[in-house]
């Protein structure tokens, strides 16, 4: 979809919402569907996620997940409106204060450990409080196996823990920080219910695969961020066990997700790392499972 088509969908969505926009700016988030920061004539800011009419299933799933997260006290955007017509589907939510955790850590490298530790603790709280979640979208969204290799890896996961609410994209770009505090978890499109280890493994795969491939300070801080994240998670949620099959599954799914977004050389290094996890026991870099 080109810029003109996206602009047309945004204009149509604003009309359906009867929202008079003073400004509309694309954001860097929303890889599945674009997200815009909309400011109205009164100066109030909103987040608008927009897609073609067929995106209604995805947006309805995000609405359900946002409402479940809010109900258990996880800070997240508030759903304001969901609209559709024969051309466009849109979701309007509150615009939450703060900057992504990754950006805050880059500004002040001394905050990498504390912020990551706090994020791990918040993820554990999501899993502890999310046991009553009723969403059943896990196998319909991102987590559904897309290849025989992913299917085989997922079948190797014990999944013998209680089912709880999973975010499945819980990483430093989807967590907002304002004045040193965690203010919101964004992007609930992929969420569903399942064994909490799936969610932790997805976070591990993002930091240990994609994070490690980033050049400059992001790549250098990825391991430190991951270690602090896991310490925060286990301090709040207890010891993680039998993680290797989950990390292998999440690694394969994350590589699939990054296909076409990263270079062939980067993807090959990621594949090699996942294969090492598969045969190397319960160890990921310096982390002993």
Tell me, what DSSP letter sits at residue 43?
A: S
**Averaged pLDDT score across all residues of the chain:** 91
- Integer angstrom CA distances of residue 160 from 15, 99, 211, 242, 250: 48, 36, 29, 10, 17
Domains along the chain with CATH numbers: 3-94 (3.30.200.20), 99-288 (3.90.1200.10)
**pLDDT tens, 8-44?**
999 999 999 999 999 999 997 656 789 999 999 999 9
Give the DSSP H/E element, type plus range, for residue 83: strand 79-84
**pLDDT tens, 140-198?**
667 888 999 999 999 999 999 999 999 999 999 999 999 999 999 999 988 989 999 99
Residues facing residue 38 across a β-bridge: 24, 46
For residues 62 and 189, is the Cβ–Cβ distance under 8 A? Answer: yes
| Total-model pTM | 0.93
Specify the residue for token string 């430190």.
Answer: 224
Residue 289 has pLDDT above 50, yes or no: no
Residues facing residue 279 across a β-bridge: none
DSSP 127-145: HHHGGG-----GGGSTTS-
Please provide the distance, in angstroms rounded to a whole number, between the alpha carbons at the two ends of the chain. Answer: 43
pLDDT at position 138: 60
């Amino acid at each position: 979809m080109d810029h003109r088509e996206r602009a047309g969908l945004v204009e149509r969505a604003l009309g359906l919402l009867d929202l008079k926009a003073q400004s509309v700016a694309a954001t860097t988030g929303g890889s599945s569907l674009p997200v815009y920061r909309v400011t109205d004539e009164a100066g109030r800011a909103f987040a608008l996620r927009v897609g073609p009419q067929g995106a209604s299933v995805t947006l309805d799933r995000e609405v359900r997940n946002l409402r479940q997260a809010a109900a258990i006290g996880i800070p997240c955007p508030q759903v304001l409106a969901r609209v559709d017509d024969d051309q466009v589907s849109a979701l309007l939510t509150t615009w939450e204060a703060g900057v992504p955790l990754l950006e805050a850590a880059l500004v002040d490298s001394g905050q990498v450990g504390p912020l990551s530790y706090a994020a791990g603790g918040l993820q554990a709280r999501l899993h502890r409080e999310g046991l009553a979640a009723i969403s059943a979208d896990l196998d319909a969204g991102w987590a559904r196996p897309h290849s025989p290799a992913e299917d085989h890896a997922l079948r190797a996961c014990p999944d013998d823990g209680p089912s709880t609410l999973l975010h499945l994209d819980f990483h430093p770009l989807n967590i907002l920080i304002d004045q040193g505090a965690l203010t919101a978890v964004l992007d609930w499109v992929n969420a569903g219910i399942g064994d909490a280890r799936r969610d932790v493994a997805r976070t591990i795969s993002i930091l240990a695969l994609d994070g490690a491939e980033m050049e400059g300070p992001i790549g250098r801080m990825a391991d430190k961020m991951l270690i602090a994240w896991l310490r925060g998670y286990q301090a709040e949620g207890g010891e993680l066990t039998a993680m290797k099959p989950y990390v292998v599954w999440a690694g394969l799914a994350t590589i699939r997700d990054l296909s076409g977004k990263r270079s062939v050389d980067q993807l090959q290094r990621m594949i090699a790392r996942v294969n090492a996890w598969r045969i190397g026991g319960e160890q990921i870099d310096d982390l002993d499972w």
